[in-house]
Amino acid sequence: MSDASTEARIRELSAKVDLLIFSYRIGTLAVLFFLSFINVSDSFAITWFHGIYQDALPGKPLPPITEFLIHYHALVGGFALLCPVLGTFTALVIKNISASISCTTCIMIVIVLQITITWFFLILPMFS
């Protein structure tokens, strides 16, 4: 093989790798935005649950974390809105692909944990 054909082959493979990395980042952002949509809608549902507790469970004490979620629902909602912004930043701005993948994956794990914790502690008073 000549040097010219080797360089052309390397450029072709490099372009394919760049396209694969870009596609992975866009796919990761799609999953991140889907999870963020669920997370943000859950954070807005906190006020609805507060109304349910007032009507269905008057005078019954709520678990401390449920009280925290109700009283600081704006903070929970703000954090839910911050996650997709951070995820977009890490997926598109950070050039190191391994750091970008690690950060975006950690943000998705945090979103899933927030969804799980929010739903668990919002539904818990109804079953206790």
The per-residue pLDDT for 126 is: 84
Residue 47 is encoded by which pair of tokens? 């006020």
Tokens 């629902």 label which residue? 73
The per-residue pLDDT for 1 is: 56
Query: Domains of the chain: which residue ranges?
Result: 3-127
**How far lies 55's CA from each of 35, 58, 88, 101, 121, in Å?**
30, 6, 40, 45, 18
> Among 104, 25, 114, 16, which residue's Cα sits nearest to residue 73?
114
Q: What is the pLDDT of residues 40-81, one digit of tens each?
A: 999 999 999 988 888 888 888 899 999 999 999 999 999 999
Inform me whether the pLDDT recorded for 121 exceeds 90.
Answer: yes
Inform me whether the pLDDT recorded for 110 exceeds 90.
Answer: yes
CB within 8 A of 57, min separation 6: which ones? 125, 126
Is the entire prediction scored with pTM above 0.95? no
What mean pLDDT, rounded, does the chain reach?
Answer: 91
